[in-house]
Amino acid sequence: MSLLQKEFGTFHSNIKLGSYDEDESLRVKRNLLIDELTTALQEETIPNTDKKLTFKKFDQGSYAMKTGIKPIDDDYDIDVGVLFDITNEEYDSNKLKKLVYDKLNAQHNRTVKFNRPCITVEYSSGYHVDLAIYSNNDDNYHIAWGKEHSKTNRCWYKSEPKKLTKWVSDVSSNSEHSKQFRHCVRYLKQWKNKHFSSNGNVAPPSIGLTIQVRNAFSLTAGYRKDRDLDALINIVSQMKSDFIYGYDSDTDSYLYTIETPLPVEPYKDVYYKMSPLQLNKYYEKLDSLLEALESAREEESEHETSKILRKVFGDDFPLVEDVKRSDTKPYVPTGHNA
């Protein structure tokens, strides 16, 4: 049996993307855009009032959860919540989102997009910032949801991003347990990037992986001291069991599908964008992943184990040197011919 815990540690260091507090360059990029938006809105007021339109920023997504990995294509995704001190009744969600869009689109050295969940600012230097726009409502957050020109589904949508971050971070009160959990999330994100990035395979969203790993880690008492491979095998096995096998009338076939709700409001299924066929493909890839991980663990040779894991995770996983053993006994001088 081979576990390669040392190599898993190196692998994690190779793929880990730190939080904003740990990565100064990302923090600077985030703050520059927030400072620009603050300046651009300094003369704005809430409609039909003299009250200044003000906001606070907060971190969300994988940076806040401390589960981020370095992007394969060098396109860094910076997620920021922009929380306006307003109620839903004080400002139309689409109009406020459009105001933010227009202020940030005034410069022409970047691309600004009006997306359903956020305003995205893309830079040619290899990163983009997603600004999710929220109303406060006495700490009952709602996100400005909808596309710019949509006639329907434009609204303030109940959302609890800070509670989601806390739920993820509360996986364990033991720091070593939490550390291994975050490592396993990152390992699976790297696996996803390697195996869903081409051939038309629609990737499961990262938040889906994070929630499934969090659930599995709790259900299976997932921590395995100094045994990340064992922990990962238990997690992936539990993730597979989350799927349900049944008949799908649209495709006239039996498929593996899954629903994974957010653990906080709005409790929507995080895989809602994936079709039954895409969910079935996700299951098949998880099945192949579990088989590969179990094969790696059963290998006697650390070299062969590392080769299997490199196929799973890519070249960021270290290759262990192949130690060749000779079947012939070494010549040992006896001194008789001295």
| 90 and 204 assigned to the same domain | no
Residue 118 belongs to some domain of the structure = yes
| 41 and 157 assigned to the same domain | yes
Residue 90 belongs to some domain of the structure = yes
| 157 and 189 assigned to the same domain | no
Residue 336 belongs to some domain of the structure = no
**End of a domain among 143, 163, 183?**
163
- Give me the pLDDT at residue 232, please: 96
Residue 120 belongs to some domain of the structure = yes
**End of a domain among 163, 198, 233?**
163
**End of a domain among 163, 182, 214?**
163
| Separation CA 239–CA 167 (nearest Å) | 18
- Cβ pair 75, 128 in contact under 8 A: yes
Hey, which residues does 131 pair with through a beta bridge? Answer: 80, 119
| 141 and 195 assigned to the same domain | no
| DSSP one-letter code for 118 | -
Q: Which residues of 77-102 are buried (b: 16+ CB within 10 A; e: fewer)?
A: bbbbbbbbebebebbbbbebbbbbbe
| 286 and 235 assigned to the same domain | yes
| Separation CA 112–CA 125 (nearest Å) | 14
| 58 and 178 assigned to the same domain | no
DSSP letters spanning 76-124: EEEEEEEEES--TTTS-HHHHHHHHHHHHTT-SSSEEEE-SS-EEEEET
Kindly give the parts of the chain with pLDDT less than 70.
19-23, 197-201, 220-221, 325-338
Q: How many domains does the chain have?
A: 2
| 212 and 257 assigned to the same domain | yes
| 136 and 199 assigned to the same domain | no
Domain around 219: 171-313
- Helices 302-313 and 175-195: crossing angle, nearest 10°? 70
| Whole-number CA gyration radius for the chain | 24
| 109 and 178 assigned to the same domain | no
Kindly give the pairing relationship between strand 119-123 and strand 111-114: antiparallel
The CATH number assigned to the domain holding 142 equals 3.30.460.90
Residue 20 belongs to some domain of the structure = yes
Residue 5 belongs to some domain of the structure = no
- Give me the pLDDT at residue 331, please: 42
| 144 and 116 assigned to the same domain | yes
- Cβ pair 148, 101 in contact under 8 A: yes
Dig out the tokens for 321 from the structure. 């040197």
- Cβ pair 266, 259 in contact under 8 A: no
Residue 11 belongs to some domain of the structure = no
| 63 and 109 assigned to the same domain | yes
What count of Cα atoms within 13 Å lies in the side-chain half-sphere of residue 111? Answer: 9
- Give me the pLDDT at residue 76, please: 87
- Give me the pLDDT at residue 328, please: 45
- Displacement of CA 138 from its chain's centroid (Å): 29
| 127 and 226 assigned to the same domain | no
Q: What are phi and psi of 247, to 5 degrees?
A: -85, 135
Residue 338 belongs to some domain of the structure = no
